[in-house]
Amino acid sequence: MLKKVTMLKGLFGMLLFLPSVVMAGHLWLGLFSKAAPYTEQSFLSSAKLSQFNNAIEREWRNGFDIVDLEYGDDRWTAISAKGTGFTQQVYLHKRDWKKFEAAVEGYTKQGFSLINVENGKGYWLGIMVKGSRYSDVVLVNIRYEEAFLKEISAKWKAGYHLIDVEPAEGTWVGIFAKNTGFEDQAYDSIDDWDGVPSAILERWKAGYKLNKIEYGGGKWFCIFIKDAKKREESYTVNSEILDLRKSIHKQWDRGYQLIDLAHGRD
């Protein structure tokens, strides 16, 4: 299955890559920025979790850190980078949520902060780091979306921001933190992919940046932020993992850095 991609000039120097032919099936998204601090990047992809785990170990030996995880279309993917500022990193993968939660709590007591959570093939995966700017990181797991959205509002009032979300296994998992550097935050929960590009454009017009996008429970969940950084950003949409890889390399050649991966259905 192929999807043609057209490049359009976005607002405020942002580039938008939209599908010109819409076909039902898998969608791989890459979110890019020119303001990320990374000095070098790589993209990992594997159909087997054991091979994926080995690839992460190899990246660590080569001086890279994992900055994002994504599962989709029976594949495990990740973004690795140098220049993250992290001093140490831990990679978690557990089948049972309670065991995952306990592992997060244990490493938190050792000074690590959870920055990314992902679910796939019955596994909960997480990245925990030392050296992050975030403080007072909180992990929540809530059954229904409505209750999760209320929790976001409550956390905002308490001085937290949402740094990652993962709708999976009938629950909504979120990571909240203080000291994010965000001046403001917003989100959009959208039922169909057709509504996502227009929602992003509207937020761009309002001065927000797209910081994260996830798919789960039949919805696309977009997290937007405002901060002091000037950031040119773009995103690409592909139906096949090989086309995603090509898009990533094209964006790297244009000076953009990959900051987030997402997989869903259109």
Instruction: Check pLDDT > 50 for residue 9.
Output: no
67 φ/ψ sector (left φ>0, alpha ψ -120 to 50, else beta): alpha
Confidence of residue 79 (pLDDT cuts 50, 70, 90): very high
pLDDT score of 83:
97
Q: How far is CA 168 from the centre of its chain?
A: 14
* pLDDT tens-digit series, residues 22-51: 445 899 999 999 989 999 999 999 999 999
Q: What is the pLDDT of residue 24?
A: 52
Q: The tokens 């937020």 sit on which residue?
A: 203
pLDDT beyond 50 at 10: no
The answer, yes or no, to whether residue 4 has pLDDT greater than 70, is no
pLDDT band at 3 (very low <50, low <70, confident <90, very high): very low
Indicate whether 99 pLDDT > 90.
Answer: yes
The per-residue DSSP string of 132-147 comes to -S-EEEEEEEESSHHH
Averaged pLDDT for residues 238-255: 96
Which pTM value belongs to this model?
A: 0.91
Cα–Cα distance for residue pair 254/25, rounded to 1 Å: 28
Specify the 3-state DSSP secondary structure of 103. Answer: helix
CB 224 within 8 A of CB 185: yes
Check if the beta carbon of residue 26 is closer than 8 Å to that of residue 263.
yes
Q: In terms of Cα–Cα distance, which of 190, 136, 194 is closest to 161? A: 136
Domain count, the chain: 1
The answer to whether 15 touches 234, Cβ cutoff 8 Å, is yes
CA 215 to chain CA centroid, nearest Å? 10
Tell me if 76 sits within 8 A of 49, measured CB to CB.
yes
Q: What percent of the chain has pLDDT over 90?
A: 88
Pairing of β 75-82 and β 65-72: antiparallel
Q: Which helix (H) or strand (E) holds 57?
A: helix 49-61
As a whole number of Å, the end-to-end CA separation of the chain is 13
Round to whole Å and give the CA distance between 154 and 174: 13
Domain that holds residue 166: 5-265
CB count within 10 Å of CB 179 equals 14
Structure confidence by residue, pLDDT tens digits, 107-117: 999 999 999 99
Decide if 133 contacts 180 (C-beta within 8 A). yes
